[in-house]
Amino acid sequence: MGAELFESSQAARETFEEADDSLGFPLSRLIFEGPAKDLQNTANSQPAIMTVSVAAWRTWQEMQGPQAMDAKAVAGHSLGEYTSLVAAGVIEFSDAVRLVRKRGELMNQAAVNRPGAMAAILGLNELAFAQICDETGVELANINTDDQVVISGDKIAVARAMDLASARGARKTIPLPVSGAFHSSLMAEAKAGLADAVQALNFKAPKMPIVGNCDSKSLSNADEIRTELVNGLCQCVQWKDSVRHLVDSGVTQFVEFGSGGVLAGLIKRIDRGVKVTTVSDTASMRKLAEDKS
């Protein structure tokens, strides 16, 4: 993950080195070499994913210069919000990578104290999802598309909700390989620690609109952003509505920075009329630059 960027881009190499220096340990070695068990620990995976995404964004800036900043807005799904803050100039990357490391540690401890699980459910409408939540006590963690959500909560409740969903016609139910019930009330004890960490940092006004997860509206100042980050630990990621808000505001092309292409796939399902591109290496960036020209 991110190795090609490291080898090809000075901006990417500097990003990985900055992450290592900021955290005080070789995160880049863990990203490139593993072991997978250590990388999958949420306290490591969160700064790792954000570092790769920021490395991709900075490589794009390196290639495009001032033209790289012609975005109408930025948004991120859960952890991705932190990358969007860096891209919008709200927070320095060195602060952001330490903040998401702290976020991961707090979430991991909350998961140990109040164990839980998450699962994706595909093929039902929102009313059916809401009824299943009411009957089982699970919570909606992500509303990704019209017919895809992620549920979160107590392990037994999540298993029961998956069974109910299957019985009511869900196309697929997928238990997620995560360490806790993220974006649910089981994360509540992590909020105070994250609030303290967020409050200690200098947040600047965004250079471009940032569409938040919790209410799918543009965040315009530091206080709104701080509140969004803290509340996001327990509240549902309203990704479907965030994308629709962007489309309604005039966005016709989405570019996903970072490894994989999960968000690009979701966006295509939300609105087939927009153009979506994933850039994770220099080849995909060159193609995007050619398309834009």
Could you give the residue numbers annotated as active site? 78, 183
* Bond preceding residue 47 cis, omega within 30 of 0: no
Give the helix ranges, DSSP H, for the chain.
3-8, 10-23, 27-33, 36-39, 42-64, 80-87, 93-113, 126-136, 155-167, 190-199, 222-231, 239-248, 262-270, 282-292
Supply 170's token pair. 């869900």
- How far from each other are the two terminal CA atoms of the chain, in whole angstroms? 28
Place of tokens 């932190």: 82
How far is residue 109's CA from residue 287's CA, in Å, rounded to a whole number?
42
Q: Pick from 37, 237, 272: which is nearest to 150 by CA?
A: 237
Supply 175's token pair. 């238990």
Contact 176, 273 (CB under 8 A): no
Give the helix ranges, DSSP H, for 65-119.
80-87, 93-113
Contact 215, 138 (CB under 8 A): no
Q: DSSP string of 11-60?
A: HHHHHHHHHHHHHTS-HHHHHHH--HHHHTSHHHHHHHHHHHHHHHHHHH
The phi and psi torsions of 142 (rounded to 5 degrees) equal -140, 130
